[in-house]
Structure 1
């Protein structure tokens, strides 16, 4: 079936060391419920088919901008964890291309002891990628549904890039970036997500922001029910499209 060209396109942004395949179950559920909307889940530098490239925020933002342009020049960004931080950075740099942001599991300000521990852990993973990969696969299988865990690893794991990602994220000012973006932002966290510590500050930084906390879920388990997450994506998309129509 041909894609619905009138519907707002979606760009899904994956987390560290995995690839765009992470989003495939959610994208399939979105596709089933939205009349075949145009969407893509690009691999960010250093991940998946771009393994071996250097990850920087600039390079990641450029990759997202290219994906948006391929879909017509304007899209809603959906990002989890590192992908959420990249979505915020892209929105600040290219507000005209970003119709809205749905950012999951990325409301921690990378500073102080938190940033130091974060960088140490990720650099350790990059130094011992085989161990980090084994631990990652085991963790995915223990915390996610079988289908979601398989999607996490289907594009391969690039644990050697973890140090670069940690350096890039800890160098960000996400609150300042959010303040630059005039469009709508949805911040979504699992109640058990350790990265939600600064969620109120993130919400306050948004010019047009909303915050949702899902009970019982952690950092990655928002992916365990693709249909539930797809419904949220479609609800956000509908709200952005309604806002756009009301402004015309």
Structure 2
């Protein structure tokens, strides 16, 4: 499947995969702020933004294969691949299925553990509600936890932007993605087998994927670093883009093991 993709800048290719239930529009500040240090590539995962949903069964593996096909279309052999929240789950599936395409890995506000049964049941409940009632359900069910306390209290424009992105989510894509995330496997073995460096980023106010999850992922990899973004919740790249961009730029240019250097 061809993903609708936006890119900016030159240099080391850095693929950033968006959170649920947003689109690549969430990466606007990264496309602008990182363009001087790398080539930022931000696809819409299937069903979101400009990408078609298709007929495949819900699976983070299918989304990871979409990303590999996108790299083929872009003529890119290897890239730093990263994602936030759902994008992190897809990134870990990419690590599992396409390890030879990696220069480095960025996992932001996500977790390597699978959903417990209660969380899987809740995803299905929300999927059914959205299909029945539309994306307005997400404002009630999902939006409150996406944003950190500081953003809710002090950054009304950021909150409003995220709300708009949430409301634009297509119901069929929302349901498909919820079921794909519910079925994802444990990824700690995948992380322990990484042959490239990892940057884990987490907002200090993230309640969905808290700092402890980022610490666990960092410990699992042979070569990893952790960056905690102050005054940010689950959408650290949107809430505190300057700090997020600085962490990514530093990783790409001088990451452990040389994430930003060409192989060989």
Q: Which TM class, normalised by the smaller chain length?
A: 0.7 to 0.9
CA RMSD for the aligned pairs?
3.2
Offset, 1:147: 6.0
The alignment status of 1:15 with 2:19, answered yes or no, reads yes
Higher mean C-alpha deviation, range 167-176 or range 116-125: 116-125
Offset, 1:95: 1.5
1:228 aligned residue: 243
CA distance in 1, matches of 2:12, 2:251: 11
The alignment status of 1:237 with 2:252, answered yes or no, reads yes
Distance 1:162 1:155, change over 3 A: closer
1:68 aligned residue: 71
CA distance in 1, matches of 2:106, 2:51: 24
- 3-state SS, counterpart of residue 68 of structure 2: helix
Offset, 1:235: 0.8
Q: Judge conservation of contact 1:16–1:81 (CA < 8 Å) in 2.
A: yes
Q: Judge conservation of contact 2:89–2:112 (CA < 8 Å) in 1.
A: no
Q: Judge conservation of contact 2:135–2:169 (CA < 8 Å) in 1.
A: no
- 3-state SS, counterpart of residue 169 of structure 2: coil
2:157 aligned residue: 146
Offset, 1:90: 0.6
CA distance in 1, matches of 2:138, 2:116: 27
Deviation per CA, 1:7-38: give whole Å up to 9, x if none: 2111110112221111112211112x42xx32
Higher mean C-alpha deviation, range 123-132 or range 138-147: 138-147
Q: Judge conservation of contact 1:21–1:155 (CA < 8 Å) in 2.
A: no
Offset, 1:42: 0.7
The alignment status of 1:130 with 2:130, answered yes or no, reads no
1:162 aligned residue: 174
Residue ranges of structure 1 left out of the alignment (5+ in a row): none
Offset, 1:217: 1.9
Q: Judge conservation of contact 1:43–1:50 (CA < 8 Å) in 2.
A: yes
CA distance in 2, matches of 1:83, 1:169: 10
Offset, 1:98: 1.2
1:90 aligned residue: 94
CA distance in 2, matches of 1:219, 1:62: 25
5 Å-filtered alignment, 1:199-238, equals 199-238=214-253
2:48 aligned residue: 47
Offset, 1:85: 1.1
Tell me the TM-score normalized by structure 2: 0.76
Structure with a larger share of its residues in helix:
1
Offset, 1:114: 5.3
Offset, 1:200: 3.5
Offset, 1:122: 3.5
Residue ranges of structure 2 left out of the alignment (5+ in a row): 1-7
CA distance in 1, matches of 2:126, 2:135: 13
Distance 1:19 1:131, change over 3 A: same
- 3-state SS, counterpart of residue 79 of structure 1: strand
